[in-house]
Amino acid sequence: MRKSMKLGLGAVLALTVGAGAALADNIKIAYIDPLSGPFASTGSNGLTQYQFAAERLVNEAGGVLDGQMFEIVPFDNKVSPKESLIQLQVAIDQGIRYIAQGNSSGVAHALTEAIDKHNRRNPDSRVLFLNYSAVDPALTNDDCNFWHFRFDANADIKMDALTDVIAKNDAIKKVYVIGQDYSFGKAVAAATVRFLGEKRPDIEIVGNELHPIGKVKDFTPYARKIVAAESDAVITGNWGADMLNLGKSLVENDFAGPVYTYYAAGSGITAAIGESGKGTIRLVAQGQINPPPSEEAAEYYRAFEAKYPDGNVDQSRITNVIGMLAEAIKTAGSATDVVAVGKALEGMEYDDLWGGKVYMRPQDHQLIQDVHIHVHTDEGLTFDYDKSGFGVLVEDTIEMAGMDSPTTCKMKRP
Amino acid sequence: MDLILVNLIDGLVTGLLLFMLSAGLTLIFSMMGVLNFAHASFYMLGAYFAYQVSVYLGFWMGLLIAPPAVGLVGAMIERYGLRRVHQYGHVPELIFTFGLALLIEEAVQFIWGKDQIAYNIPEVLQFTAFSIAGNSIPAYKVFMIFISVAIFLALLFVLTRTRVGMIIQAALSYPRTVEALGHNVPLIFMGVFGVGTGLAGVAGVIAGPVLSTFPGMAVVLGSIVFVTIVIGGLGSLWGALVASLLIGWITTFAKSYNLRMEDLLTGIGFSRPEPIWDSAWADLWTLTSPQIADILPYLLMILILAFRPYGLFGKRDV
């Protein structure tokens, strides 16, 4: 209850502050993600993490340039590409120059295309697209453009890292791939087939399946098939309620092997999986939470917990988005000249709060970073998720994953 | 063969769950002549109430307390909201329930937040009841089947074998006559609405732990409940049962077996275009049944509406 009230109060506060002309100098970042509907929890948790990162990394340090503060302006897109384009237009009309979005590559495709068009036609009000979570590889390959920057490792890079780990595990002979039926789910499936084929041709892919996104009520039949196919491991890119329900069904139907996921952590998922998924559910993601990579990171997490007792830092890359944007604005010397900011972001090296260095690859605007394999457990944790006693612990790390991965991106620079 | 049996059981569980939702909805419809858009929201309330109770008193007290609580909320909404709107006709009623659905979702988000909540299966039922050829059937599923069947039988008994049921049935078809006989029809309406929403509450209590409890759970089930009662025939309890089971089994089997559109099309006599990825029909040709399993009921509804508009067991037109 307290969190929702805070959110509400925050929104009211943001409105009143926004109305005051004195602070019109704020650098606004439009946060276009689901704040209602089946994926609302993922979206609203991302929002608090953005607000906290902006507050702590930028505003408390006195802002950027001559004291300009970061302000996150939330827009609810209900994970609908159509709705997102409307919100994008509203954001642009409000004079916002930075668009942050992450949930659903379908939405990201719509946004990146619209932003590319907008920027070509309106050189005076260009915007940058800070994609912190949509990991369809196409966004930094065939469909790349100068305005789009991706801060999460894309599905191919994650899969590359994941298959490195699977390849080391001789116990895995059969793998089942299941995902949501849209561009991202298909990208995960294609990457699995490709990388496993290269690294472990002896592994048999016993199932490769897509289900409608956000529509499946009961995953039991899928879980049955997976068990019946005698698969040793499951790979899924599912997120939100689809991830939780698939995970629960698998565990309920006595699937004991590892379930390799992209997004099975936080937003209530960790708490709901709880004891039943211990040692089964794996997570491939950037950002090391447990054990904390540095005292600085631990302090950040503690401060976040103090401010949002119900929240998790489950999308730690958001600190890179905020931190790198602040750096780029400082380098460019202007927050309104997004071309200069974009050029400053290209090739930037930055110290990740969550350990290691990150590098924004200039060819395709894909952030190169360490990718970890985490395990869902309640042992050896410093920070749990969802106040459940459970959380994710780093098991394996691929440093600078995908550094030399190929890209088909042919970017036109302004 | 073994897998067929397992799928029959899984489908039965899904179907019976759907039945508990649609039974209440179809009762309310036959009584008031209005579709209650907020019905799935009462299902969600059931899950959340039960979760809240289970935090303090355990799952079983939740099962006992939450459904009457939801029923009470439903009855109060009928008494102080719907009844006032009733005099203005069906469209305002429809809009009222639509607004109610949004209101309940917002209220739930406000109180419990937007995250999934950890409402789980009770420890006592966390074991495998039996297994068929390596496929385990969790005890909780067996429990779900028993609860829903018991509710169906109780409902059938009350409606067809008791005096209360007789009055309800009479009030459904001839409210004025029943009123003239000295029965309190508004009270009956309130009672039926309360029981209908209470049933949705029961469904929420027992489905919450398996289908996960989050503010979007009403939206996920909302439309399929309407599909169920349209297929079954509006106002028919038997229709609701048959349609629910039908939908349960159709979706389960479609997910379990990889029926491919390609096989169907070649079976009819079309030839596969080569190369497939250049064809305008590529999406159609590569379709598999698990991909569309949860959309099949809607297809069935369209067919029913086209060929038998009053549904499988219904007596009146939609």
pLDDT at A23: 46
> Are B214 and A241 within 8 A, CB to CB?
yes
Quick one: which of A361, A407, A344 has its CA closest to A143?
A: A407
Q: Which token pair is A115?
A: 């932003």
Quick one: which of A130, A38, A84 has its CA closest to A315?
A: A130
pLDDT at B277: 67
> Are B128 and A254 within 8 A, CB to CB?
yes
Q: Where residue A412 falls among pLDDT bands split at 50, 70, 90? A: confident
pLDDT at A11: 52
pLDDT at A215: 77
Judging contacts by C-beta atoms under 8 Å, the chain A residues touching residue B13 are: 218, 220
pLDDT at A96: 94
User: How many Å apart are CA A365 and CA A342, to the nearest integer?
Assistant: 10
When the pLDDT of each residue in chain A is averaged and rounded to a whole number, the result is: 88
User: How many Å apart are CA A76 and CA A30, to the nearest integer?
Assistant: 10
> Are A41 and B214 within 8 A, CB to CB?
yes
> Are A181 and B256 within 8 A, CB to CB?
no
> Are A41 and B14 within 8 A, CB to CB?
no
Q: Where residue A16 falls among pLDDT bands split at 50, 70, 90? A: very low
Phi and psi torsions of A39, nearest 5°:
-105, 15
Average pLDDT over residues A8-15: 50
**Three-state DSSP string of chain B:** CHHHHHHHHHHHHHHHHHHHHHHHHHHHHHHHCCCCCCHHHHHHHHHHHHHHHHHHHCHHHHHHHHHHHHHHHHHHHHHHHHHHHHCCCHHHHHHHHHHHHHHHHHHHHHHHCCCCECCCCCHHHCCEEEEECCEEEEHHHHHHHHHHHHHHHHHHHHHHHCHHHHHHHHHHHCHHHHHHCCCCHHHHHHHHHHHHHHHHHHHHHHHHHHHCECCCHHHHHHHHHHHHHHHHCCCCHHHHHHHHHHHHHHHHHHHHCCCEHHHHHHHHCCCCCCCHHHCCCHHHHCCEHHHHHHHHHHHHHHHHHHHCCCCCCCCCCC
Task: Check pLDDT > 90 for residue A47.
Answer: yes
- Own/partner contacts of A338-345, CB < 8 Å, gap of 24 or more, are A338/A97, A338/A98, A338/A126, A338/A127, A338/A128, A338/A147, A339/A126, A339/A414, A341/A128, A342/A128, A342/A146, A342/A147, A342/A149, A345/A128, A345/A149
Q: Cα B294 to the chain's mean position, in Å?
A: 14
CATH of region A2-153+295-368, choose from 3.30.930.10, 3.40.50.920, 3.40.50.2300, 1.10.510.10: 3.40.50.2300
pLDDT at B96: 93
Quick one: which of A17, A118, A125, A131 has its CA closest to A73?
A: A17
* Residue with tokens 């179809």, as numbered in its chain: B26
The SS3 call for residue A29 is strand
> Are A211 and B114 within 8 A, CB to CB?
no
Least confident span in A48-62, A115-129, B261-275: B261-275
Domain boundaries, chain A: 2-153+295-368, 156-290+370-398
pLDDT at B318: 45
Q: Does B34 touch chain A (CB under 8 A)?
A: no
The SS3 call for residue A51 is helix
Domain boundaries, chain B: 2-221+234-256
Q: Which token pair is A90?
A: 């509203």
> Are A220 and B10 within 8 A, CB to CB?
yes
Q: Does B59 touch chain A (CB under 8 A)?
A: no
Cis peptide before A291 (omega within 30 of 0): yes
What proportion of chain B, given as a percentage, has pLDDT over 70? 97
> Are A44 and B114 within 8 A, CB to CB?
yes
User: How many Å apart are CA B149 and CA B129, to the nearest integer?
Assistant: 18
pLDDT at A6: 53
Task: Check pLDDT > 80 for residue A349.
Answer: yes
User: Is the distance from CB of A79 to CB of A37 less than 8 angstroms?
Assistant: yes
Average pLDDT over residues B126-131: 81
Convert the pLDDT of each residue in B17-38 to its tens digit. 999 989 888 888 877 777 888 9
Task: Check pLDDT > 80 for residue A264.
Answer: yes
- Best mutation target among B5, B114, B140, B256 (most A Cβ atoms within 10 Å) is B114
Least confident span in A162-166, A270-274, B281-285: B281-285
- What's B2-221+234-256's CATH class? mainly alpha
Can you give the pTM of this predicted structure?
0.78
User: Is the distance from CB of B118 to CB of A268 less than 8 angstroms?
Assistant: yes
Convert the pLDDT of each residue in B86-103 to its tens digit. 888 888 988 999 999 999
Whether the predicted interface score ipTM is above 0.85: no
Q: Where residue B274 falls among pLDDT bands split at 50, 70, 90? A: confident
The SS3 call for residue A151 is coil
Judging contacts by C-beta atoms under 8 Å, the chain A residues touching residue B111 are: 1, 4
Quick one: which of B48, B212, B61 has its CA closest to A268?
A: B212
Residues in Cβ contact with B207 at an 8 Å cutoff, skipping those fewer than 6 apart? B17, B43, B47, B144
Judging contacts by C-beta atoms under 8 Å, the chain A residues touching residue B118 are: 268, 271-272, 274, 386, 388
Convert the pLDDT of each residue in A299-328 to its tens digit. 999 999 999 988 889 899 999 999 999 999
Q: Point out the residue among A36, A38, A220 whose CB comes nearest to the CB of B220.
A: A38
pLDDT at B258: 78
User: How many Å apart are CA A253 and CA B297, to the nearest integer?
Assistant: 25
User: Is the distance from CB of A253 to CB of A344 less than 8 angstroms?
Assistant: no
Q: Where residue B276 falls among pLDDT bands split at 50, 70, 90? A: low
Average pLDDT over residues B243-249: 94
Residues in Cβ contact with A112 at an 8 Å cutoff, skipping those fewer than 6 apart? A129, A131, A139, A143, A145, A147, A148
CATH of region A156-290+370-398, choose from 3.40.50.720, 3.40.47.40, 3.40.50.2300, 3.20.20.330: 3.40.50.2300
pLDDT at A22: 42
Burial class (CB in 10 A: 0-12, 13-18, 19+), A2: exposed
Give the nearest chain B residue to A249 (CA atoms). B210
Q: Which token pair is A377?
A: 């457990």
- Best mutation target among A44, A45, A224, A245 (most B Cβ atoms within 10 Å) is A224
User: How many Å apart are CA A59 and CA A140, to the nearest integer?
Assistant: 31
Q: Please give the helix or strand (H or E) that residue A32 lies within, else none.
A: strand A27-33
Quick one: which of A164, A370, A351, A358 has its CA closest to A287?
A: A370
Q: Does B294 touch chain A (CB under 8 A)?
A: yes
B291 or A223, greater pLDDT: A223
The SS3 call for residue A92 is helix
Per-position b or e across B189-221, b if 16+ CB within 10 A of its CB: bbbbbbbbbbbbbbbbbbbbbbbbbbbbbbbbb
Tell me how crowded residue B260 is: count the other CB atoms within 10 A of its CB.
15
Q: Cα A295 to the chain's mean position, in Å?
A: 24
User: How many Å apart are CA A246 and CA A177, to the nearest integer?
Assistant: 12
Least confident span in A142-151, A153-162, A209-218, B65-74: A209-218
Task: Check pLDDT > 80 for residue A221.
Answer: yes
Judging contacts by C-beta atoms under 8 Å, the chain B residues touching residue A44 are: 114
Task: Check pLDDT > 60 for residue A71.
Answer: yes
Convert the pLDDT of each residue in B164-177 to its tens digit. 888 887 876 777 88
Crossing angle of the two packed helices B217-232 and B90-112, in degrees rounded to 10: 150
Q: Where residue A249 falls among pLDDT bands split at 50, 70, 90? A: confident
pLDDT at A273: 83
Q: Point out the residue among A8, A221, A245 whose CB comes nearest to the CB of B256.
A: A221
Within the 368-407 window of chain A, which residues sit less than 8 Å (CB to CB) from chain B? 386, 388
Burial class (CB in 10 A: 0-12, 13-18, 19+), B123: exposed
User: How many Å apart are CA B245 and CA B229, to the nearest integer?
Assistant: 12
Cis peptide before B275 (omega within 30 of 0): yes
Q: Looking at the complex, report in whole angstroms how far the Cα of residue B126 sits from the nearest Cα belonging to chain A.
A: 9
Residues in Cβ contact with B168 at an 8 Å cutoff, skipping those fewer than 6 apart? B31, B159, B188, B191, B192
Least confident span in A27-36, A77-86, B207-216: B207-216
Q: Where residue B1 falls among pLDDT bands split at 50, 70, 90? A: low
When the pLDDT of each residue in chain B is averaged and rounded to a whole number, the result is: 86
Residue A380: left (phi > 0), alpha (psi -120 to 50), or beta? Answer: left
> Are B3 and A224 within 8 A, CB to CB?
yes
> Are B258 and A224 within 8 A, CB to CB?
no
The SS3 call for residue A71 is strand
Strand partners, A75: A32
- Best mutation target among A177, A220, A278 (most B Cβ atoms within 10 Å) is A220
* Inter-CA distances, B138 with A254, A322, B107, B210, Å: 9, 46, 33, 11
Strand partners, A368: A359
User: Is the distance from CB of B143 to CB of B125 less than 8 angstroms?
Assistant: yes
Q: Please give the helix or strand (H or E) that residue A24 lies within, else none.
A: none
Q: Looking at the complex, report in whole angstroms how far the Cα of residue A321 sits from the nearest Cα belonging to chain B.
A: 24
A64 or A20, greater pLDDT: A64
Q: Which token pair is A207?
A: 């199932």
User: How many Å apart are CA A235 and CA A188, to the nearest integer?
Assistant: 9
Convert the pLDDT of each residue in A288-305 to its tens digit. 998 899 999 999 999 999
> Are B10 and A218 within 8 A, CB to CB?
yes
* Residue with tokens 């699937």, as numbered in its chain: A255
